[in-house]
Amino acid sequence: MSTSKTKDKYQIAVVPGDGIGQEVMKATIDVLDSLDIDFEYVYGEAGDECLEKNGTALPDETLDIIRQSDACLFGAAGETAADVIVKIRQEMKMFANLRPVKAYPHTNSLSDEIDFMIVRENTEGMYIADEEKYTDEGAIARRIITREAERRIIDYAFKYAVENNKSKVTAVHKANVLKKTDGLFKEIFYEVAEDYPDIATEDFYVDATAMYLITQPESFEVIVTTNLFGDILSDEGAGLVGGLGLIPSANIGLDGALFEPVHGSAPDIAGKGIANPIAMMLSAVMMLRYLGENDAADKFDAAILKLLNDANTLTGDLGGNASTMDVAGEVIKNINGE
């Protein structure tokens, strides 16, 4: 997923959003500032508070900032999430959503061997607002699957496997019921697989996959699937490894990329300074790899791993009593070798 490039200075769009998004973003920016990289942060508004203040959840100015930046860090959105993050993905043609599911120490993971990536198609499927409408009888949503978009995401999944030393790609669908749309997805999967003879392939129905994630999560390496299924399975994946506070994500397109934690705005704990910032931090690690700053990404990642191994500075969701900024301070100490 790296752009294989480095620059003297990066412009990063920073969109903290709502609730704990603002708190975990500050913690993450503090850590990024401890690295030997020159970042210029340009802040944009989005989310529930932005809607109340400006009459729109996603101002054009924020979209422009994202377009003009090397990458975007996004915190969280509340009730306006569909009007914000989905719109950004579509406006910026961010077709690939990457959600790693990885076991870390002291996080109540189902297995210590869990380490797989969910590659989710981001632009079609069920998540197209204009294709949902009320009818006289109730409401209807149209599911869209195109050859171009599905071939693109499936090829991306295989390329990811090759570049990250993964040996198998699993397609997830419901082709026994959705015979035309998911039937096409499955057909394209095996067409693309012919271009990658060294990568093993398999496909499962989404309901079976939901079970296999519980019974044999270690068997997965790269999962590729459509929009709705990927959304659901990635939250199940979070449950395997200790919760949403540990799951980062990336949205990758031809013209830009956005990195965000999978968790929401968590209004019940917002403003208390106790939110777990690790998912946001891991999202920043993914951003560094996208920018080609792999040494810095390795250093940041190792500092987080040390914090989790030491288990002395954990937030409440992981059984500790540390604050959000306590975690940031400890990660910075680890980066500096203190």
Active site residue 174: yes
- Token duo for residue 315: 């937030």
CA dist 305 and 9 (Å) reads: 27
End-to-end C-alpha distance for the chain, whole angstroms: 31
CA angle 335, 336, 338 (to 5 degrees): 110
Catalytic position from the list 30, 115, 155, 235: 235
State how far the Cα of 280 lies from the Cα of 263, in Å rounded to an integer: 9
Active-site residue, from 33, 64, 195, 207: 207
190 catalytic per annotation = no
CA-to-CA separations, 72 to 3, 75, 250, 259, 263, in angstroms, rounded: 14, 10, 10, 6, 17
> Token digits for 109?
């993971």
Out of 104, 127, 156, 160, the active site residue is 127
Catalytic hit among 70, 231, 317, 326: 231
The CB density around residue 262, as the number of other CB atoms within 10 Å, is 22
Interhelix angle for 227-240 vs 206-215, to 10°? 10
Identify the burial level of 316 via C-beta atoms within 10 angstroms of its C-beta, where 0-12 means exposed, 13-18 middle and 19 or more buried.
Answer: middle
Nearby residues of 285 by Cβ (< 8 Å), 6 or more positions away: 248, 297, 300, 301, 304
Regarding beta strands 139-141 and 132-134, do their DSSP bridges make them parallel or antiparallel, or are they unpaired? antiparallel
**What does the buried/exposed string (b/e) look like for 322-331 if buried means 16 or more CB atoms within 10 Å of the residue's CB?**
bbbebbbbbb
Q: How far from 33 is each of 6, 48, 332, CA to CA, in Å?
A: 17, 28, 9
* Catalytic member of 166, 174, 186, 299: 174
Is 127 labeled as catalytic in the residue annotation? yes
Q: Active-site residues: which are they?
A: 127, 174, 207, 231, 235
